Chains A and B, each alone.
Chain A
Amino acid sequence: AQSVTQLDSHVSVSEGTPVLLRCNYSSSYSPSLFWYVQHPNKGLQLLLKYTSAATLVKGINGFEAEFKKSETSFHLTKPSAHMSDAAEYFCVGGTGANNLFFGTGTRLTVIP
């Protein structure tokens, strides 16, 4: 079965420190992988996507993610957290017959 697993439901970091949000995927095929961010009472905004080109993907707002096939991971990172990064983050995978599967989300808290 295809799925993504977000390993942390909640991550808390201090402003200016690195951010790491973890996502593992399970897929029989090479998936397309995405990270989305959702601020309170808003829709989901695409941060970045992996579609079998470069394994290191750069996104908006200084975020990037690395696709590691050997570890079946697609972790999201940012060198320095800003207060505005506080939000919910979703890892999403897509494969096969137009199937999308969502992670359960990671809530990022940024401490001033």
Chain B
Amino acid sequence: KAGVTQTPRYLIKTRGQQVTLSCSPISGHRSVSWYQQTPGQGLQFLFEYFSETQRNKGNFPGRFSGRQFSNSRSEMNVSTLELGDSALYLCASRRTGNNDYEQYFGPGTRLTVT
């Protein structure tokens, strides 16, 4: 069974631009979560989507948004990029949503903002 895939793997953008990252979950998994990982802040939860609805949201500004499609694939968008948005963005999927916490992570997208 294929794992979680994320595209692109690496991305370089300039301040003020916007970016869209994509995540394809494991087949049959309906929940997709996004995380930002930086050396200074560690792993921080962005949001979770389940059945095309955002169910949980972390403490990030509105520049960070996401959506989920009917096939459970998810996209994350960051608008008006700032230098501090440089990070590894990780996507994770899990089978159901209800009290099933076992997540499977993708390899991440490394975003560099210059």
Contacts and interface: CB of A to CB of B under 8 A. Distances in A.
Interface in A26-44: 32, 34, 36, 41-44
A100 B102 contact: no
A98 B4 contact: no
Interface in A74-99: 90, 92, 94, 98-99
B102 A43 contact: no
Given A41-B108, A42-B108, A105-B43, A98 B55 contact: yes
A25 to B, nearest CB: 13
B47 interface: no
B70 interface: no
Nearest to B35: A102
Contacts, number: 50
A104 interface: yes
B48 A43 contact: no
Nearest to B96: A98
Interface of B is mostly: strand
A99 B56 contact: yes
Contacts of B55: 98
Contact of B104 (A41, A46, A100): A46
Contacts of A45: 105
20 contacts: A32-B99, A32-B102, A34-B101, A34-B102, A41-B88, A43-B4, A43-B90, A43-B92, A43-B105, A43-B106, A43-B107, A44-B90, A44-B92, A44-B105, A45-B105, A46-B102, A98-B55, A98-B97, A100-B33, A102-B42
Interface of B: 4, 33, 42-43, 45, 48, 55-56, 88, 90, 92, 97-99, 101-108, 110
Interface of A: 32, 34, 36, 41-46, 49, 90, 92, 94, 98-100, 102, 104-105
Q: Which 4 A-B pairs have the closest CB atoms?
A: A94-B101, A43-B105, A44-B105, A43-B107
